[in-house]
């Protein structure tokens, strides 16, 4: 257990989500162990008595995320309500707790998967493994970052940016990791047999996480070899795909459907519609921010944009589509395939980006990275045009 706690502490720091040395992770099997010593453990340990959990993750985020969560907590002192898919699926909303005490933190964690303690950090928990707390922690950072940049754009558009928001934004932007433009060296075609395909998928998944195009737990990846789709399992970490890829025959005789990604049907639809051999799906932040950027007033679909949006918006030719995870009438399996078929990439409203490519992962990776970089450029172009930012 101690090793698991150390593993996720290192992962938080390596992915730039927590300052090096900041994470405090506790795990309980026979006894309660922590990855390191810290005086705050006195309060954190009590949470294990107050709730039936087996692990706790607490850390002060790395910059710019610490500034972002503290700003949002000042603006929304009780509850932060992001509207992206990760929030909708896992977090619902994010409570803010103003006291670093066992009682206050556990009261918040009894309601939600993660809590923000201004000036201190984010706490989350797992009931099976510290991996769950790691996921909710990273989801909280993702959701808060998307919300922060979205609220700034809205405030700039409505002309109510105040000095505090402007100066916080400038600090956040200065600390934002620079966009990457280099393309990784991924295994070249031909990917002609199962072993080669699995190795290429594992490598591409790791690159998607390393480039910050998804937090490790989300996203998915697939490759079509003849009439079999190899796809990452639901809930697998894209940077640790060894042993977590399922072969799913396209004739429907699959037995792996239970563990295969919940987006298998959307991937399959793309392979049936387009001349593609592989697909990548990530949650890059500026693509998600731009997908939710809408200046339409009084839209009847407001609040339901992620399933009902009827606007045909694009980012440089990449369509933005609505769609829910899964196979219902408003499911991604219906909205995604035609969009990806036309341009090799699509942005799903509030959710992320899907790209296709062939004959190996390089083209799909390039499309994913370029879509995100273009969205990031467009975001700052809009902010500058609205007077919210001076590019130096």
Decide if residue 26 touches Zn ion (CB under 5 A): no
| Cβ contacts of 378-386, under 8 Å, gap ≥ 24 | 378/290, 378/315, 378/316, 379/149, 379/153, 379/286, 379/289, 379/290, 379/293, 382/153, 382/156, 382/293, 383/152, 383/153, 383/156, 386/153, 386/156, 386/157
Binding segment for Zn ion (CB under 5 A), chosen from 16-24, 63-71, 140-148, 349-357, is 349-357
Question: Cβ closer to Zn ion: 18 or 325?
Answer: 325
Question: Cβ closer to Zn ion: 352 or 388?
Answer: 352
Q: Burial level of 345, CB count in 10 A (0-12/13-18/19+)?
A: buried
What's the half-sphere exposure (Cβ side, CA atoms, 13 Å) at 39?
2
Decide if residue 350 touches Zn ion (CB under 5 A): no
Decide if residue 357 touches Zn ion (CB under 5 A): no
In terms of Cα–Cα distance, which of 105, 87, 85, 83 is closest to 96? 105
Decide if residue 126 touches Zn ion (CB under 5 A): no
Least distance from Zn ion to the Cβ atom of residue 241, Å: 15
Interface pattern 304-343 for Zn ion (x via CB under 5 A): ----------------------------------------
Give yes or no for a contact between 283 and 209, defined as CB atoms under 8 angstroms apart: no
In terms of Cα–Cα distance, which of 306, 281, 282, 265 is closest to 85? 306
Q: Which two tokens stand for residue 239?
A: 């940077």
Question: Cβ closer to Zn ion: 64 or 352?
Answer: 352
Decide if residue 352 touches Zn ion (CB under 5 A): yes
Question: Cβ closer to Zn ion: 95 or 352?
Answer: 352
**CB nearest Zn ion: which residue?**
352
Question: Cβ closer to Zn ion: 23 or 352?
Answer: 352
Decide if residue 133 touches Zn ion (CB under 5 A): no
Question: Cβ closer to Zn ion: 60 or 306?
Answer: 306
Where along the sequence are the contacts to Zn ion (CB under 5 A)? 352
């Amino acid at each position: 257990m101690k090793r698991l706690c150390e593993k996720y502490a290192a992962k938080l720091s390596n992915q730039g989500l927590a300052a090096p040395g900041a994470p405090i992770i506790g795990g309980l099997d026979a006894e309660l162990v922590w990855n390191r010593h810290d005086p705050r453990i006195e309060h954190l340990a009590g949470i294990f008595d107050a709730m039936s959990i087996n692990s706790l993750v607490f850390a002060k985020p790395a910059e710019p995320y610490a500034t972002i969560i503290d700003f949002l907590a000042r603006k929304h002192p009780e509850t932060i309500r992001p509207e992206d898919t990760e929030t909708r699926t896992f977090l619902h909303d994010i409570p803010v707790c103003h006291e670093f005490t066992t009682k206050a933190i556990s009261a918040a964690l009894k309601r939600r998967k993660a809590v923000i303690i201004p000036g201190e950090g984010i706490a989350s928990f797992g009931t099976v493994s510290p991996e769950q707390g790691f996921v909710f922690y990273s989801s909280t950072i993702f959701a808060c970052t998307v919300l922060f940049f979205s609220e700034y754009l809205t405030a700039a558009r409505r002309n109510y940016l105040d000095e505090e928001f402007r100066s916080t934004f400038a600090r956040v932007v200065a600390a934002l990791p620079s966009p990457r433009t280099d393309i990784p060296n991924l295994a070249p075609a031909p990917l002609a047999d199962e072993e080669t395909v699995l190795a290429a998928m594992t490598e591409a998944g790791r690159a998607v996480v390393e480039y910050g195009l998804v937090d490790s737990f989300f996203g998915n990846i697939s490759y079509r070899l003849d009439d079999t789709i190899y796809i990452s399992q639901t809930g697998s970490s894209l940077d640790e795909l060894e042993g977590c890829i399922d072969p799913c025959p396209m004739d429907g005789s699959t037995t792996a459907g239970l563990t295969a990604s919940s987006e298998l049907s959307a991937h399959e639809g793309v392979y049936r519609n387009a001349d593609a051999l592989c697909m990548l799906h990530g949650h890059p932040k500026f693509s998600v921010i731009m997908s939710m950027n809408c200046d339409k007033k009084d839209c009847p679909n407001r609040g339901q944009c992620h399933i009902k949006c009827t606007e045909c918006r694009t980012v440089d030719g990449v369509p933005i589509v609505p769609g829910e995870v899964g196979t219902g009438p408003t499911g991604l399996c219906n909205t995604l395939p035609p969009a990806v078929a036309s341009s090799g990439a699509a942005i799903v409203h509030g959710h992320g980006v899907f790209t296709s490519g062939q004959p190996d992962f390089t083209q799909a990776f390039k499309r994913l990275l370029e879509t995100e970089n273009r969205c990031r450029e467009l975001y700052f172009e809009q902010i500058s045009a609205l007077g919210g930012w001076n590019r130096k």
